[in-house]
Amino acid sequence: MAILVKRSLVGVLGLFMLLASFSIQPGVSEAAGKVDEIIAEAKKHMGTPYQWGGTTPGGFDCSGFIQYTFKKAGEELPRTAAEQYGVGKSVSKSDLRKGDLVFFSHGSGIQHNGIYIGNGQFIHSSTSKGVIISQLDDPYYWGDRYVGAKRVIANEDKAQEAVKSQELEPLPEGEYHDVEDDYWAYNSISELADQKIMSGYGDSTFKPSTSITRAEAAAYLTNALDLSHDGSSKDFHDVNGDTEHVEAIQAVNEAGIITGDKDDNFMPEDPLTRQHMAVIFYRAFELNGVTYDKEFIDVSEDHPYAKHIHALAGSGITTGNSNNEFEPRRETTRAHFAVFLERALER
């Protein structure tokens, strides 16, 4: 009898565990586990020396280190940092999660990358110290060279989304939980909110560090310049009647301010880079002929957008960073866009 009872309990327990396994969201714990696996593997190689072209534990370059650690977890990535920047989903700095790839530039183009490990830190193979952990916002180096981030692990951990989705108290229009009066871009954000040019989100946040999309830029410029569309806009393959800000997209296109690519795509959800922002402002605020008597160390004379960037600086809309860099390929944040737009409107 005791044996039968014991077997029954084992059977019930097994059935309970089986049912419990089906209650777990598919892909969630798997993705979280994969990210942990990647970070654990990366940390095993702390101190491994830097080696140009290195892809093994005998010596890594930056992208070789990332390719190796991700492959250990069953994730295939391209070889170079520039190629790795071309995969995955773009994510803003404020939305970084463990396992995201972070990218940097010392001039033009993507020249370095690492793996975000949380708490503002990333692990990477540096040329001077090999595999180390650094601060993403290091004001003396990495902070000014940050370009953007990509998420390459699918089915990201939903638990982190739940933490970020806590209900916030509604605030009066134009006030935001994440933009206090001592925030560096507070005046510009508040001024544009008062003029109904830029707005925040339904939870009374502005998300100042989030990258602005091309569609959002179209909407804010349409508001700022009081544009309207007359039906002459060309058709974009990736824009239809359900696309957010579709009328603004048509308006800026008709005004010749933001156009699509050679294949007639507008790319509405793509982050707006600083160099493309310069081109857009050059057109929108008629900066043709404006010169700049200085130079940015990362914008050469033969840079394809040199005249646009120099005109932006010459007009006082931008000044570059403390290292005299413009960071042309860096994604434009909502806060920076607000500052640039307010300055442009005050010219």
Residue type present at position 208: P
CA separation for the pair 347, 164 (Å, rounded)? 38
Evaluate whether 48 touches 62 at the Cβ level (below 8 Å). no
DSSP alpha helix (H) spans, the chain: 2-22, 28-44, 62-72, 81-84, 142-145, 158-164, 186-194, 214-225, 246-254, 274-284, 306-314, 334-346
Q: Which residues contact 112 (CB under 8 A, 6 or more apart)?
A: 62, 81, 103, 104, 105, 106, 124, 145
Q: In which residue are the tokens 């803003």 written? A: 92
CA separation for the pair 327, 275 (Å, rounded)? 8
Show the beta-strand stretches assigned E in the chain.
55-56, 59-60, 89-91, 101-104, 112-118, 121-126, 130-135, 146-151
Q: Which residues contact 18 (CB under 8 A, 6 or more apart)?
A: none
Q: By CB neighbour count within 10 A (0-12 exposed, 13-18 middle, 19+ buried), where does 167 fall?
A: exposed
Question: Among all residues, which ones are annotated catalytic?
Answer: 62, 112, 124
DSSP string, 134-197: EETT-TTTHHHHEEEEEE-SSS--HHHHHHHT-------TT-BTTB-TTSTTHHHHHHHHHTTS
CA separation for the pair 133, 115 (Å, rounded)? 9
DSSP state of 95: G
